[in-house]
Amino acid sequence: MDSISVVKVSGHCLDDHELISQFAKVVASTDEPVVIVHGGGVEISQLQHKLNIEPRYVDGLRVTDADSLALVEMVLCGSVNKRLVRYLLSAGVDAQGLSGVDRGLVRARRMRHESLDMGYTGEVVSVRGEVITDLLERGITPVVSPVSLGACSNFNLNADPVAGAIAAAIGAHEVVFISNVAGVLVEGKRAASLTRLQALDLIERGVIHGGMIPKVESALVVLSSGVPQAVITDLQGWASREGTTFIGSGAKARISEEICQ
């Protein structure tokens, strides 16, 4: 099979008609097989507020109680997943929605935290890669919600590690994280590529800071899982194959000699 890209698209792209339409068109124009993993945290929080359920977070992660898990399943497995599939089908992509629960695609356990019970917030245990490769071999684009299967319940997982785990399980050549940022900025310009060591140095020196840190950490986890590269970009950047590419430390990055506007 050709090189496979796993694309994680954040929820901010998925409640905007123009953005989701553009995303579907880019997927339709892509020659290589694509696996899509999506978030939807904004819509989950909106529904929680409507139902007077206060969202709780620790270390940037949602703490999922039983009531919130039901909402997460409604939003991620229901409205967001099926909306994205609908737009992809309209763009000519043979897309199929599924969650980590379906066919036991992603098995999970309760996330471990040193001081807090994370409830139904989970972490990846294993991935049945053949569930994805079977679809790809038939020309189907999987669209995966990160709700996953536990021993006694489902779990709510962050979409970033789910994308990385799926990529490692199917031998994908990259994970692309699409959000509202074009890449990592160094001296006001986007770095074309970074090694792990360069990225860690930029974090230590405060060049990479704030909300970019967890994005970069997700990219580095992808490299640790054996996937050759990870990319942080926005929708326009993915369409033009731009962004910041994270590569193994043995490769030569282009932080200094090639920094894009």
23, 52 Cβ separation under 8 angstroms: no
Q: Are residues 238 and 7 in contact, defined by beta-carbon separation less than 8 angstroms?
A: yes
For 179, half-sphere exposure in the C-beta direction (CA atoms, 13 angstrom radius) is 21
Catalytic residue among 122, 160, 234, 237: 160
Question: Please, how many CA atoms are within 13 Å of residue 134, restricted to the half-sphere of its CB?
Answer: 7
Instruction: Note if 8 is an active site residue.
Output: yes
The alpha carbons of the chain give a radius of gyration, in whole angstroms, of 18
Active-site option among 39, 41, 119, 237: 41
Nearest to 198 by CA among 242, 250, 244, 253: 253
Cα 12 from Cα 157, distance rounded (Å): 17
Which of 40, 215, 237, 243 is the catalytic position? 215
Q: Which of 11, 97, 119, 122 is an active site residue?
A: 11
Listed in order, strand segments (DSSP E) in the chain are 5-9, 34-38, 57-58, 61-62, 95-100, 106-110, 122-127, 141-149, 154-156, 174-179, 185-186, 189-191, 193-195, 229-234, 244-247, 259-260
> Is 11 known to be catalytic?
yes
HSE-CB for 108 with a 13 A CA cutoff: 31
The DSSP secondary-structure symbol of 211 reads T
Active site (annotated) includes residue 2? no
| Residue 215 annotated among the catalytic residues of the structure | yes
Helix (H, G, I), strand (E, B) or coil at 135: helix
**Tokens representing residue 51 in the block:** 């139902």
| Catalytic residue numbers, as ranges | 8, 11, 41, 160, 215
